[in-house]
Amino acid sequence: MLTPAESEILLTSLCVAAKALLVLPLAIAAAFALSRPRVPGRIAWDGLVHLPVILPPVLVGFLLLMAFGRHGLFGAKLHLAFTQNGAALATAVMIFPLLVRSIRLSFEAADARLFDAAAVLGAGAWDRFFTIALPPAWPGIGAGAVTAFAAAMGEFGAVITFAASIPGQTQTLPLAIYGALQQPGGEAQAWRLASFSLALALLGLAAAELLRRWARRGA
């Protein structure tokens, strides 16, 4: 059974991960654009999209703090630093490359000749996207979203730098585990929280694999 404090931590983690997934439409658009062979500057855009994978998460959080902190470029109006929405933003930045890569593979696996044939027949860009490109990619999009959600539940560095670890607001499971380990005799609490985190991650990976198998059967 979860204690009230553990329930609050778990709820905060789920809320932050769910809000972070609001970046999904942008990830779909970016993945589709990068899957097109004739996009101008595709290599540069691809590098920019995957930059959070290369940079240390703490540096990503620091850059967000410089942009959205109290004295940052956008901080005075948006007030995102040290809030749950700020934790979601930091998490979204970190899972964005994972989403784009997974969804892009789905777009690239589709038969490009159908897309080109529709263009020859006069179908507009939006029609081709929604009727030809998007439907076969939905299983991959779903699998990517589930995997990204599991990864969002485990994000640490960017979140603690940009949003801190505020109980009931930004203290997610990884931050609570870290906090427990800083307390004398906190190992037992850390183990309990780690077991919840591990169970959720395994459930996410299992769900993503089921979606991939379903997609292979329908192919």
How many domains does the chain fold into? Answer: 1
Stated length of the chain: 219
pLDDT of 39 strictly over 80: no
Question: Which is it for the CA torsion 62, 64, 65, 71, positive or negative?
Answer: positive
> Which string of b and e fits 61-91 if b means at least 16 CB within 10 Å?
bbbbbebbbeebeebeeeebbbbbbbbbbbb
- Per-residue pLDDT tens digits for 173-215: 999 999 998 888 888 888 988 888 888 888 877 877 777 777 6
* 5-13: average pLDDT: 90
**Any residues with CB less than 8 A from the CB of 157 and at least 6 apart, and which?**
56, 57, 58, 60, 61
pTM assigned to the model: 0.87
Give the CATH number, domain containing residue 212: 1.10.3720.10
pLDDT band, residue 113 (cuts 50/70/90): low
Q: In this structure, which amino acid lies at residue 169?
A: Q
- Domain residues for the domain of 27 are 4-218
By the 8 A CB rule, do 88 and 19 touch?
yes
Most confident of 5-14, 89-98, 138-147: 89-98
